[in-house]
Amino acid sequence: MSNKDLKLIDGYLNNSLSKDELQLFNERMQEEEFSDLYLEFVLQEEMLEDALEGEALELQAERKLKKVRQLTYFVALAASLLIAFQFYKFLNPVAVLDQISGHIVLVRDGQERIIAKDLKLSPGDVLRTNVGNARILYSDGTQINLDEKTTLLVYGSSKGKKILLNHGRLDADVAPQPDGKPLILQTPLAQAEVLGTSLSLTSLKGESVLNVTEGAVRFKNLKGNKDVVKAGQFARAMENAPILAQVVKPKIEIKPRENDPEVLKHDRWLKHSFKLRKDKDLVAYYDFQSLKEKGSKYLLNKADATSGLPLDGELNNVLPIEGRWRGKKSLYFSEFSYVDCGRHEVFNLQKALTIFTWVKVKSLDRHFQTIVSKGDSSWRLARFQESDTLEFACSGLRGSPYLRGVKPLPVNKWLLITATYDGNEVKLYRDNQLELAIKAEGEVLVNDLRVLIGNNSQLPNRNFKGWIDELGIMKRAMSHQEIQVLYDAGKP
């Protein structure tokens, strides 16, 4: 293991890699030798923490355990722990490997051998099911069934059971675990914390997929974004995307086009969308149907009037997902998500403007969670402080630059939000109804800040949590009649 490899793995586990370094890490993980080093590194870190925690029990109560992070010291200490660990692990098998079929390889202490019969597994054992299947059986009845072409590392400690799934698939039937000692299933992209359930976990190139058939699993990625996946749900962990539990949908019955309500909804919306994008006052229009690869992924601006300007939005840790109906796309945003639409001067809307967007809130758990904004010193549409209402703010206006809604935002329900300023009034609409209007005049302040969907570039950590599907920005105020048409065309 070279120092360069160590730094790459350590940076990945600490979420400190640049985009180029992350791409290099994912490429190297396709190499068997490097992926084995990754598993060994994680195991050594677990052992080091366990050993240090054991030592800490003998120290004075006020001393706190600090994690060792200097690589040279880490490797030296972990190596010494490994030597002592050899005696421990054979006396403390963590599980039994049984129901073996096909070609199963065990890697123990750097030595490979083919397994043909039941075997006691020790911490640090690596299993490869090249062609065949096997089962790991724990003393409490927990079963881990390994599919073919699967590689994993078995580890157990005072903290509970742990399996590091490098690639392949496993199915688990987990007995209820002791309080504070869940079964941990970890992949290169995510971690599943299992208290007692039935599930399958698949580790593939670029994603890990969790399916839960019984119970519930806390599933999180390396950024710390997480969700609880319940029975009948699945979730994916991918690079630069949040975790979201989704319902496993039954197979869709194909209906004739003229009888399919989902198709009819989409056709109705699409007809209006094509007409809308031709509006000469439309500054930016994101229908969320089209993403483009330009090194990163971008959300395409479809407004005809600004089609030649650099207004496409760069995606950051968002999840493309089904929107208001089948065939309509949206993006799911978490506490790390946003879309960066840049800082072009066309977004400096002083005399009049409209923002319209379809949103579905998952949770309100951050101060001023933002739907879209041009920093915090121009225009912005966001949650008001820590309330369950909206605020449309236009800094610089005389009268009242802050319009604060009165109705609570619904959770898990699609809502059309439209905010306008026409030089005389600031208005906030919910679906097709006017929620509130206040008198205001003057010009909205301009700045050189970036327009973000799902966050605020001037005051970050105001990330929206939920779904956004279609968003437009205009340099005039839409009328109530236009908003009614917009609602009728796009309602779920």
User: How many whole angstroms separate alpha carbon 193 and alpha carbon 228?
Assistant: 9
**E strands, 109-189, in order:** 111-115, 119-121, 126-137, 143-146, 150-157, 160-173, 183-186
State the amino acid at position 354 in one-letter form: T
Q: Where are the domains of the chain?
A: 1-90, 92-248, 258-490
Mean predicted confidence (pLDDT) in 319-323: 94
Nearest to 114 by CA among 124, 100, 94: 100
Question: What are the residues whose beta carbons fall under 8 Å from the beta carbon of 440, sequence distance 6 or more?
Answer: 394, 397, 398, 399, 400, 401, 421, 424, 425, 426
Q: What is the pLDDT of residues 273-316, one digit of tens each?
A: 999 999 999 999 999 998 888 778 999 999 999 999 999 999 99
Say yes or no to pLDDT of 77 above 70. Answer: no
Looking at residue 6, its pLDDT comes to: 74
pLDDT band of 81, cuts 50, 70, 90? very low
User: How many whole angstroms separate alpha carbon 124 and alpha carbon 82?
Assistant: 10
Nearest to 364 by CA among 332, 335, 321: 335
Q: How far is CA 344 from the centre of its chain?
A: 28
Looking at residue 39, its pLDDT comes to: 63
Looking at residue 472, its pLDDT comes to: 98
Q: What is the pLDDT of residues 438-470, one digit of tens each?
A: 999 999 999 999 999 999 999 989 999 999 999
Same-fold call for 92-248 versus 258-490: yes
- Picking from 18-22, 44-48, 79-83, 173-177, which range would have the lowest pLDDT averaged per residue? 79-83
Count of alpha carbons within 13 Å of 462, Cβ hemisphere only? 25
pLDDT band of 242, cuts 50, 70, 90? very high
Q: What is the pLDDT of residues 189-212, one digit of tens each?
A: 899 999 888 999 999 988 999 999
User: How many whole angstroms separate alpha carbon 193 and alpha carbon 181?
Assistant: 9
Share of the chain above pLDDT 90, in %: 62
Domain 258-490 has CATH 2.60.120.200: yes
Say yes or no to pLDDT of 126 above 50. Answer: yes
User: How many whole angstroms separate alpha carbon 343 and alpha carbon 452?
Assistant: 9
Say yes or no to pLDDT of 45 above 60. Answer: no
User: How many whole angstroms separate alpha carbon 366 and alpha carbon 385?
Assistant: 8
**Cβ–Cβ contacts within 10 Å for residue 232, how many?**
14
Question: What are the residues whose beta carbons fall under 8 Å from the beta carbon of 455, sequence distance 6 or more?
Answer: 337, 338, 370, 373, 461, 462, 463, 464
Q: What is the pLDDT of residues 268-282, one digit of tens each?
A: 999 999 999 999 999
User: How many whole angstroms separate alpha carbon 486 and alpha carbon 429?
Assistant: 12
CATH number of 92-248, picked from 1.10.1750.10, 1.10.2020.10, 3.40.50.300, 2.60.120.1440: 2.60.120.1440
pLDDT band of 222, cuts 50, 70, 90? confident
Q: What is the pLDDT of residues 84-94, one digit of tens each?
A: 444 444 445 68
Mean predicted confidence (pLDDT) in 28-47: 63
Mean predicted confidence (pLDDT) in 46-54: 44
